[in-house]
Amino acid sequence: MDKKPVLYFCQIEWDRWSENEEVIRNIYPYVNKIIVIDGGSTDGTIEGLRKIAKESNDKSCYIDWVGIQARLDSGDSLKNSFFPEELEEMREAKLNIIQFKWKDDFIASRQKYIDVVTVLRKPDESSWFILSDTDEYLSVRLRKRLRKLCAWADTKRMKLLKVRCRSIELVNGKRIKENMDNYGKELIFKWSSDLAIGGVKVHHGFQPGYLRSEKEILELPTFHDDGKDKEILYEHRKDPFVIWMRSHFRNYFIFGGGPNLGKLQQAWIPLRQILNKVMPKPPDTWVDYWEYAEKGNVHQDLKDWYIKYAMEGVKDRDFTKWPKSDTEIYFENNPHPEEPNKRGLDYNGSSEAREAAKMYFQVLFPEECPDKLKDLHIP
């Protein structure tokens, strides 16, 4: 096997170019290829990406997944679903933009960059994924040491390197609060034939079978006490208003009140029923829901839902009554090196449901806030 790792920086993006440009520019010199799964951006993302490639005299390639999916649906293999000229163009380009319409499905979008690397990589290649969201910024030292870290991990037969996070709270672009989180995120991992996105995590995680031993996983030390120029971590820069918006209007709406609970979450079902009834047309994505709510004066049925879960929260799921998910059955019968994300198995979505009332009545439209919520602290 070629011991020199090939690095693929991958992310999903949809109209976040104002914050993502810095992410891409920072990582660009340190990886072999950039793969962006774009959900349908109209904010200059595509043009901005191509500009960065052009500035470095690199080629870029744009592929619409619609044609790929049509050939997959007709029975073609993954590799054969790409035309030879498409593959040649993608291999020559440092920047590959894959147009895949956002469908409120993180796993489906993230799996696309796994598929792209699968068809682009050489058979004997040590292929490594480097991930970050559009508001996640890898430290300078981490970026500079990516190749050495992956080469070292190859010698130890590791497949997953977790990176610690410094959370930054921003208001009007200024840092007002920061803290080190107590967990590592799966931002660096190695390609293998059994790699698939999924598992029990919300944004990241793997289908069972990819990781087989604790020795394949390492959480990187941060060294943050030695000065910021020597840190190995990433910064998650967050605007509280944006986070509140995403907590309910994105996360709750997409995940049905908690990772992997879907329709097992009893509070999620009436929310979707209400939205289908009161919106001009049933929402296709969480953005449709947000655009309806941010105008104010939403239907009273939706306000009543907000009030109900602000006052009562969401009752815990009774595991004795609900059928077990495939994930739960798997972890009962198979040892797994990663501790199952218990929040993903038994979390009931309470905080995201409460965030709806907090965002709507206390932040956006306090003039619509009912008296019984005005003095209520919504945790």
pLDDT in tens, 365-376: 999 999 888 776
Q: Which residue has the higher pLDDT, 273 or 58?
A: 58
Q: Which residue has the higher pLDDT, 297 or 338?
A: 297
Residue 323 included in any domain: yes
Q: Are 113 and 152 within one domain?
A: yes
**Residue 326: pLDDT band with limits 50, 70, 90:** very low
Q: Same domain for 169 and 315?
A: no
For residue 285, is pLDDT > 70? Answer: yes
Residue 379 covered by a domain: no
Cα of 106 vs its chain's centroid, Å: 6
Q: What is the dihedral of CA 8, 9, 11, 15, to 10 degrees?
A: -130
Structure confidence at residue 340 (pLDDT):
43
Q: Is the per-residue pLDDT at 1 higher than 80? A: no
The mean-pLDDT minimum among 94-108, 197-211, 260-274 falls in 197-211
Last residue of a domain, one of 176, 204, 238: 238
204-208, 219-223, 341-345: least confident range: 341-345
- Please indicate, yes or no, whether residues 216 and 350 belong to a single structural domain of this protein: no
**189/131 same-domain check:** yes
pTM for this one? Answer: 0.86
Q: Tell whether 180 and 248 lie within a shared domain.
A: no
Question: Would you say the C-alpha torsion 273, 278, 282, 287 has a positive or negative sign?
Answer: negative
Separation of alpha carbons 366 and 346, rounded Å: 33
Res 31 pLDDT > 80: yes
Number of domains in the chain: 2
Does any domain span residue 349?
A: yes
> Which band of pLDDT confidence, cut at 50, 70 and 90, is reported for residue 319?
very low
pLDDT of amino acid 317: 46
Residue 1 in domain: no
Position 209 in a domain: yes
Give the residue carrying structure tokens 């430290």.
Answer: 139
Contact 65, 141 (CB under 8 A): no
Residue 349 pLDDT grade (very low, low, confident, very high; cuts 50, 70, 90) = low
Least confident of 137-151, 173-187, 311-325, 347-361: 311-325
In sequence order, which residues have a C-beta less than 8 Å from that of residue 330 and are 6 or more positions away? Answer: 208, 336
CATH of the domain at 125: 3.90.550
Residues 190 and 262 reside in one and the same domain: no
Assess whether pLDDT exceeds 50 at residue 154.
Answer: yes
Mean local confidence (pLDDT), 13-28: 95
- Per the model's pLDDT, the better-predicted residue between 363 and 234 turns out to be 234
Looking at the structure, do residues 24 and 148 belong to the same domain, yes or no? Answer: yes
Instruction: State the pLDDT at residue 104.
Output: 84
pLDDT tens digits, one per residue of 61-74: 999 999 999 999 99
Average pLDDT over residues 78-91: 96
Same domain? For 230 and 274 the reply is no
> What is the residue-averaged pLDDT of the chain?
84
Co-location of 161 and 54 in the same domain: yes
Q: What percentage of the chain has pLDDT greater than the value 70?
A: 80
- pLDDT tens-digit map of 211-268: 888 889 999 988 655 556 678 999 999 888 787 777 778 877 876 654 445 555 667 7
Q: What is the pLDDT of residue 307?
A: 87
Distance CA 36, CA 258 (A): 27
50 within some domain: yes
Sign of the C-alpha dihedral computed for residues 296, 301, 303 and 306 taken in this order = negative
Q: Scan for tokens 């994930």, then name that residue.
A: 327
126, 149, 202, 288 from 220: Cα distances, Å: 20, 10, 21, 39
Query: Is the domain of 168 the same as that of 294?
Result: no
Residue 172: predicted pLDDT: 84
233 and 103 fall within a common domain: yes
Q: Domain of 255?
A: 242-374
Residue 308 has pLDDT above 60, yes or no: yes
pLDDT, average across residues 195-216: 71
Please give the pLDDT value at position 239.
Answer: 87
| Model confidence band, residue 379 (pLDDT cutoffs 50, 70, 90) | low
Query: 234 and 299, same structural domain?
Result: no
Domain stop point among 203, 238, 273: 238
Residue where a domain terminates, one of 198, 215, 238: 238
Question: Looking at residue 127, what is its pLDDT?
Answer: 98
